[in-house]
Structure 1
Amino acid sequence: MSAAASPGFSGLLSGRPLRLIAGGVLIVNGMFPALWILFTSLKTEAELTAKPITWVPHAPTLSNYMQAFSDQPLHLFLFNSFMVALLSTCLTLLVSVLAAYALARLNLRYRGLILSLIIAVSTFPLVTLLVPLFEIMRTLNLLNTWIALVLPYTVLSLPVCTLMLVSFFEGIPRDLENAAMIDGCTRMGALFKVVVPLCAPGVFTAGILAFVNAWDEFLLALSFNSNPALRTLPVGIQLYQGEFAFPWPVISAALVVGIVPVAVLIVIFQERVVSGLTAGGIKG
């Protein structure tokens, strides 16, 4: 009896119902905070503090969004975050593509050791790197500049992006590069004209990770930039709170404004990743 029931129970655990439950938990866990922030941004302070709690705003208002732009230079925070994230993403992709290609194609003597060191570096807590990075930027006279953030963000994103691209490059047949070089391409030309287009899914995924990491980072942005004109979005949002006041509707409105551009970019990149997967599958 127990032997007959066991396969059915294990089948239930590994079947579609469990996958649906797990998917539902993930969706709720991911969507609930975002929806709560959105609903909070549409409430007045009185409705937010009223009891019993209202989940959906009874009288939605956009005044919090207007106040978010009037109380602080939110447009400047967005611009600084976008430029820093964009520059660090471009630099990260350039360096990680070259590093991953070398690890995947060149017969490096200590390849295993290099990969192990990359994994080890990626596990360092950011707070342990704060003081050394600050001293480096101070010595180079780069504090209160975009470069003070672009360079550390690039270094922090490189390990994950490089490891990701190594696996993609190893899946590309060497014969394609050899054929390109026979036709007159240099090794660098074969890399950027043949290998990188075929690895578009990995490149775009690495770019998404690098961009989001730079967009969300707070500790370095707070420590390396004291110039009000160079504040990024995470640092700027903390300025909305006062010494004894926390205007959560206004703060939530600023958060929504900061989330929307990243969400749009991720959707765009996801579509390109899908098209890149299809194209790569056809060419392969």
Structure 2
Amino acid sequence: MTGNSLDRWFESPALRRLAAALVVINGFFPALWVLLTSLKSEAELVQQPISYLPQNPSLANYARAFADQPLLSYLGNSFIVAGLATLGSLLVATGAAYAIARLNLRHRQLVLTAIVASSMFPLVTLLVPIFETMRVLGLLNTYTALVLPYVVLNLPVCTLVLVSFFQSIPRDLENAALIDGCTRIGALVKVVLPLAAPGLFTAGILAFVNAWDEFLLALSLNASAGMRTVPVGITLYQGEFAFPWPIISAALVVAIVPVAVLIALFQERVVGGLTQGGLKG
């Protein structure tokens, strides 16, 4: 097969549809399976042959999910932690990204390389020093114990996303604002940030989802019952000898809904932000 033939084959509409279908199935089938499981009874779940669709759909598992564990409390804790972590990540990453993109920093490329390298450390290798730091500071079993590490862990991806956007904004706009009497911070707030809104939305949603889904630190740093987040709380539905999959699935659906709604509301901004940042960065 010649090179031109390969190019035509890869660009064929049928292949594109197949690739899109595979991506959709891979992304949505697990979530759909969890949703269908949450509507089944435990007896229906283990019957043979397997019934893919619930024969008698019921919301009883959702009622059990809220009754068996304080799921509302877990959701509230997750919202507070993820929200504060997102705000902190955007605040720090905005300053770092603006300095890298606009100021004449020495060894700028080395700084970007260090940012990328810092995101490659497995979280488990950082667990002990983070735990000891929070213990010494007396922050265990507080929101701060999770917010501070999440801000640090989110900084690489947020900074890289925002650097691309800041670089795509013409300097002439800032220079005009500086001539009109704006300070550097004023130009950032009044000119750069409004134009970089898609990047801010993209970085914010990535930071929120990372904080919402994180399990290891949430399990280790906040062990008290009143401070548990959703990922940790869902593990408590498991019994010593039983796994109530329908109830766990209902809790998982409840945990997925806020993130799904957030992404649905800002889908265009996120996709546009990733595309624009990738093209102009």
TM range (shorter): over 0.9
Instruction: State how far apart, in whole Å, the 1-side matches of 2:97 and 2:22 are.
Output: 36
Report the equivalent of 2:121.
124
Percent identical pairs in the alignment equals 67
Instruction: State how far apart, in whole Å, the 2-side matches of 1:276 and 1:113 are.
Output: 25
1:22 Cα deviation after fit? 0.8
What whole-Å deviation, never above 9, does each CA across 1:90-119 have from its counterpart, x for those lacking one? 000000011000000000112111111101
Report the equivalent of 1:282.
none
Match for 1:193 among 190, 208, 217?
190
What whole-Å deviation, never above 9, does each CA across 1:240-269 have from its counterpart, x for those lacking one? 000000000000000000001111011122
Task: Tell me the amino acid that sits aligned with residue 95 of structure 1.
Answer: V
1:213 aligns with 2:207: no
Q: How does 1:35-54 map to 2 (within 5 A)?
A: 35-54=32-51
Report the equivalent of 2:4.
7
TM-score normalized by the length of structure 2: 0.94
Report the equivalent of 1:280.
none
Q: Secondary structure in 2 aligned to 1:262?
A: helix
- Report if aligned partners of 1:99, 1:162 keep a CA contact under 8 Å in 2: yes
1:275 Cα deviation after fit? 8.5
1:58 aligns with 2:45: no
What whole-Å deviation, never above 9, does each CA across 1:5-46 have from its counterpart, x for those lacking one? x63344112322221111110000001000000000000001
Match for 2:262 among 251, 262, 265?
265
Report the equivalent of 2:223.
226
Distance of aligned partners of 1:114 and 1:184 in 2 relative to their CA distance in 1, 3 Å threshold? same
Q: Secondary structure in 1 aligned to 2:169?
A: coil
- Report if aligned partners of 2:154, 2:207 keep a CA contact under 8 Å in 1: yes
Q: How does 1:148-159 map to 2 (within 5 A)?
A: 148-159=145-156
1:102 aligns with 2:105: no
1:185 Cα deviation after fit? 1.4
Report the equivalent of 2:279.
none
- Report if aligned partners of 1:198, 1:276 keep a CA contact under 8 Å in 2: no
- Report if aligned partners of 2:69, 2:237 keep a CA contact under 8 Å in 1: yes
Instruction: State how far apart, in whole Å, the 2-side matches of 1:127 and 1:82 are.
Output: 24
Q: Which runs of 5 or more residues in structure 2 are unaligned? A: 275-281
- What is the aligned-residue RMSD (CA, Å)? 1.5
1:166 aligns with 2:182: no
Q: How does 1:239-254 map to 2 (within 5 A)?
A: 239-254=236-251
Report the equivalent of 1:86.
83
Q: Secondary structure in 2 aligned to 1:144?
A: coil
Q: Which runs of 5 or more residues in structure 1 are unaligned? A: 278-284
Instruction: State how far apart, in whole Å, the 2-side matches of 1:126 and 1:135 are.
Output: 15
- Report if aligned partners of 1:200, 1:273 keep a CA contact under 8 Å in 2: no
Instruction: State how far apart, in whole Å, the 1-side matches of 2:117 and 2:107 are.
Output: 15
- Report if aligned partners of 2:202, 2:273 keep a CA contact under 8 Å in 1: no
1:77 Cα deviation after fit? 0.3
What whole-Å deviation, never above 9, does each CA across 1:158-203 have from its counterpart, x for those lacking one? 0011011111100101110111122221111111111111011111
Report the equivalent of 1:18.
15
Match for 2:142 among 142, 145, 153?
145
Report the equivalent of 2:277.
none
Task: Tell me the amino acid that sits aligned with residue 242 of structure 2.
Answer: A
Query: How many matched pairs?
Result: 274
Instruction: State how far apart, in whole Å, the 1-side matches of 2:270 and 2:216 are.
Output: 31
Instruction: State how far apart, in whole Å, the 2-side matches of 1:79 and 1:165 are.
Output: 29
Instruction: State how far apart, in whole Å, the 1-side matches of 2:200 and 2:15 are.
Output: 33
Task: Tell me the amino acid that sits aligned with residue 76 of structure 1.
Answer: S
Instruction: State how far apart, in whole Å, the 1-side matches of 2:188 and 2:149 are.
Output: 26
What whole-Å deviation, never above 9, does each CA across 1:130-156 have from its counterpart, x for those lacking one? 001111111111100000000000000
Task: Tell me the amino acid that sits aligned with residue 224 of structure 1.
Answer: L
Runs of 4 or more consecutive aligned structure 1 residues displaced over 6 Å after TM superposition: 274-277
